[in-house]
Chain A
Amino acid sequence: KQEVTQIPAALSVPEGENLVLNCSFTDSAIYNLQWFRQDPGKGLTSLLLIQSSQREQTSGRLNASLDKSSGRSTLYIAASQPGDSATYLCAPYNYGQNFVFGPGTRLSVLP
């Protein structure tokens, strides 16, 4: 059964810093991995999806990498802004197990 961990659990940084959020998963037989953002009490917004055959995916200031064989993904946020403050969740997708979510990294970017 897929298990997902995310490090760090929480992160507080000054505006402008570059950040790395880490996600580890135990079952490498995944179709893809998706990164989500969640604002407090709100729904999940999809940020990036990396297919199992891809090494990385970029969207604006966000870059996600995937090392399927070692069960790791990282989300890189460049030049962080206060509006980036949210919880970031990773979710690898195994067919039959659907999406299994990590506990999230709570990010706070201070002005």
Chain B
Amino acid sequence: EAQVTQNPRYLITVTGKKLTVTCSQNMNHEYMSWYRQDPGLGLRQIYYSMNVEVTDKGDVPEGYKVSRKEKRNFPLILESPSPNQTSLYFCASSIAGTANTEAFFGQGTRLTVV
């Protein structure tokens, strides 16, 4: 089954404690991205990756890091989380640049930073 898998689904952590949210897709997609969703602000892109070892900033990259060492995985790293990073996070993947490009989303990770 084609899917994007995020882990964990829920996470409560303390300010400053490094964490990683994993994202994996089994569709051999080139393109992967991370979004955060906040009430009243909608979905905003954090980082995206066009392919292995190619990453770029989205609209709200501050406080986040990503890496793309393998095609299937695109982890989101918060080196020193702060309460303003409390949000619902989504990972997405797609093939790149065609009219058939369809975005597939993970189930989301609800992060609370206290």
Binding site for B on A (CB under 8 A): 31-32, 34, 36, 41-44, 46, 49, 51-53, 89, 91, 93, 95, 98-104
Contacts and interface: CB of A to CB of B under 8 A. Distances in A.
Q: Which of A43, A53, A104 has the most CB of B within 10 A?
A: A43
A98 B100 contact: no
A44 B97 contact: no
Interface of B: 31, 33, 35, 42-43, 45, 48, 88, 90, 92, 94, 96-108, 110
Given A101-B43, A104-B42, A34 B103 contact: yes
Nearest to B105: A44
A87 to B, nearest CB: 10
A100 B103 CA distance: 11
Contact of B42 (A34, A42, A103): A103
A41 B102 contact: no
A31 B102 contact: no
A6 to B, nearest CB: 9
B33 A98 contact: yes
8 contacts: A32-B102, A41-B110, A49-B102, A93-B103, A98-B48, A98-B94, A101-B35, A104-B42
B30 to A, nearest CB: 12
A43 B107 contact: yes
B97 A31 contact: yes
Nearest to B4: A43
A43 B89 CA distance: 9
A91 B88 CA distance: 18
Q: Which of A42, A89, A99 has the most CB of B within 10 A?
A: A99
A32 B97 CA distance: 10
Nearest to A30: B99
B103 A31 contact: no
